[in-house]
Structure 1
């Protein structure tokens, strides 16, 4: 069991870090490191395992990820086609297709270099593989922990339910994506009322874009009052923000004014919840972030877009590591 000591250490560190603050990205990395070291520990135990157990472990560690990569590539390309058909061929809608084609492109490159490549080509392919492996590892960390974070439940009462805005349709109408957030916020509001507690303030957050006739907050408030039947006095507007960061900062100002010891929950769509939670932590917002349902076909591209944003927000570390991997690959190629 000594082989599992490192995995146990990573898992313990993950538990401590997550308990201290669930909104840290390092929780995702620690979660991923726990999984990777556990897999290596399983491999080290193979000689001591009976054959009937060793074979499933090999399949679990090698065959499942290999087949999973191929299946993921097919799924992402198919999802990309669905996105284009339903949402149009705008660049953000092509992310899942680009990722799927990238998977097959990488596989084809490795096969070609392995069969026909020179020493330099092998070195370049190996270096590229290291960089892709690192980015893939960070992505899987993000994806796995985002899933765990999305399982958070609201415990106890809150003073405010903050609902983040998004673009309006026709300049003044709430689109389905935003309506999903409003319904989720209303569910939290109604659940607190059902417990006999004081009704939380529904704080709708979003300013007015250049192509919008009213602020997102105004449209959201009107939807809650007209469609949800929420009393107008329980709805408050934050109508200055233009970005998610400003959503958090300006909403925090209003909540602090109401009660310096406030407790809140922030609502956005599920693909955006973990990144929004990191922003909430950075802005000093006292509350967790919950995600509302999103159309299944929309989720992959939106999740990839969120990951790219998170990767870039931590670009100093990520680019330094990628640069180090390139340097190591270059040195190994020269020596070879």
Structure 2
């Protein structure tokens, strides 16, 4: 019951961020799941459930946990990646734009890009992302404006503004450059997202891919890492 209540409270926290996604629903479902387990145990109802259904239930829970743990392990392999110097291009994966500028998630990605670009003056940045229904401008255009405000020259910034998910961010960005197996490309995104970003990039180019992990506020890591599990499952096929 404690886990059910904590999950429900966390869903409210995620909802109040106003990210435009429905990931808070995941935590409502988690709360319902723990509430169900508590109810079944409290009322002593498990013995009334046919043994075959109990076994199927347990197997499904074990399989779900196994998939979750494997995905989390994959995420952690790129969690602290700082990339390698000398990239020809870096691709900054888009995230939500707000009236006042990039969302916190996107800002951290762009700040990581600024740091890399300042340390590698020959590198070109590609900022990605279309304009969602709740965004004032495209994520690509917003990313470009932010980089320029931080002192990155316009000549070093390419903009992709037609994509609406991670896969499109990467494939559309690659279409802007000449694909070459001798090229080095850095993928810039938040630490929890970098495993999937580099995984997809390696699928669509023969260039050398490195990951550049941006910060994430720790109170939102549980939500982001659970949600990312579903993204990995969707894109890994």
User: What's the TM-score bracket when you normalise by the shorter of the two chains?
Assistant: 0.7 to 0.9
Q: Which has the larger radius of gyration?
A: 1
Corresponding residue for residue 185 of structure 1: 113
The answer to whether structure 1 residue 105 and structure 2 residue 36 are counterparts is yes
- Contact kept, 8 Å, 2:78 with 2:213, in 1: the verdict is no
CA change 1:230–1:87 in 2 (3 A) is: same
Cα distance in 1 for residues equivalent to 2:147 and 2:20: 32
Tell me the number of residue pairs that the alignment of Structure 1 and Structure 2 aligns: 235
Cα distance in 2 for residues equivalent to 1:248 and 1:87: 25
The answer to whether structure 1 residue 281 and structure 2 residue 202 are counterparts is yes
Q: Could you tell me which of 231, 238, 246 is aligned with 2:153?
A: 231
- Contact kept, 8 Å, 1:96 with 1:300, in 2: the verdict is no
| Shift, 1:134, TM fit | 0.4
Higher relative contact order (CA 8 A, sep 6+): 2
Q: What is the TM-score when the length of structure 1 is the normalising length?
A: 0.61
Cα distance in 2 for residues equivalent to 1:235 and 1:88: 26
Corresponding residue for residue 11 of structure 2: 80
Cα distance in 2 for residues equivalent to 1:168 and 1:277: 23
- Contact kept, 8 Å, 2:181 with 2:206, in 1: the verdict is no
Q: Could you tell me which of 119, 124, 130 is aligned with 2:53?
A: 124
2:177 aligned counterpart, secondary structure: helix
| Shift, 1:86, TM fit | 4.1
The answer to whether structure 1 residue 305 and structure 2 residue 227 are counterparts is yes
Q: Deviations over 1:131-167 (max 9, x none)?
A: 1110111101111231122133323421111101122
Cα distance in 1 for residues equivalent to 2:83 and 2:130: 27
Q: What 5-or-longer segments of structure 2 have no aligned partner?
A: none
Cα distance in 1 for residues equivalent to 2:12 and 2:53: 31
Cα distance in 2 for residues equivalent to 1:81 and 1:89: 14
Q: What is the TM-score when the length of structure 2 is the normalising length?
A: 0.83
Corresponding residue for residue 129 of structure 2: 206
Q: Could you tell me which of 140, 144, 148 is aligned with 2:77?
A: 148
The answer to whether structure 1 residue 262 and structure 2 residue 190 are counterparts is no
1:155 aligned counterpart, secondary structure: coil
Corresponding residue for residue 18 of structure 1: none
Corresponding residue for residue 57 of structure 1: none
Cα distance in 2 for residues equivalent to 1:174 and 1:90: 16
Cα distance in 2 for residues equivalent to 1:107 and 1:134: 21
1:162 aligned counterpart, secondary structure: strand
The answer to whether structure 1 residue 246 and structure 2 residue 175 are counterparts is no
- Contact kept, 8 Å, 2:77 with 2:195, in 1: the verdict is no
Flag the structure with higher strand content.
2
Q: Could you tell me which of 157, 163, 172 is aligned with 2:86?
A: 157
Q: Deviations over 1:162-216 (max 9, x none)?
A: 101122213x8322221111001111222335xxxxx210111123335545332
